Amino acid sequence: MDRQCVKLTQSLCPQWLQHQMDRITGLGVFGEKKPNHVLVNEYLPGQGIMPHEDGPLFYPTITTISLGGPCQLNLYRPHTSMQNHSEEQDEGTENGEQNGEENSNNLEYDLEARYVGSLLLEARSLLVLQEDLYVTFLHGIEETKQDVVTDRILNLGSCTVNVGDTVERSTRISLTIRHVPRVIKAKLLLGKNRR
């Protein structure tokens, strides 16, 4: 099931969204810069996104406004070495020790072992990822129709739920607001000026 995604640049932003971007600018989270890019995602119940990092283009800050239903954003330590992990998998496969299902189970276990905690993203909340949360950790949303609140919710004290509660997912819209620096024209990057 594909999630819906729309990218908006500042020139295409409706006034209500520009107002939110201005409010975030007023918080000073982008320093001297202003947000100029919005990614709009729709997540239906049961949809998520694999753990990832947003990469250097948007560094050092991304912000996300959550609309609609709540969900948990899970945080993970990165692999210490992707190459070592790949080599271990290759050795196991060569020795006949692992099949595809076992590899999948090992990756799931590895993800569980790297789990740090979660943030509950409630309706109308603002998430700011920067510094170590941006540079070091991966973030993702589990594909599930409900989240169980545990003591591993890092922002539990500012949420409207308690440990043990089950939070049913409903359609969630995320507005990821960030600053994209100006880049060299694409034709230069693609080498079209070369002969």
Residue 81's pLDDT band (boundaries 50, 70, 90)? Answer: very low
139-163 pLDDT per residue, tens: 999 999 999 999 999 999 999 999 9
Domains contained in the chain, CATH given: 4-189 (2.60.120.1520)
Q: For the residues of 51-90, what is the DSSP string, one character each?
A: EE---GGGTTEEEEEEEES-EEEEEEPPPS-HHHHHHHHH
CA distance linking residue 169 with residue 70, whole number of Å? 6
CA distances from 76 to 18, 66, 137 (A): 32, 21, 6
* 116 contacts 76 by C-beta, under 8 angstroms: yes
Name the least confident of 10-14, 27-31, 166-170.
10-14
pTM of the predicted structure, to 2 decimals: 0.74
CA angle, residues 115, 120, 122, in degrees to nearest 5: 160
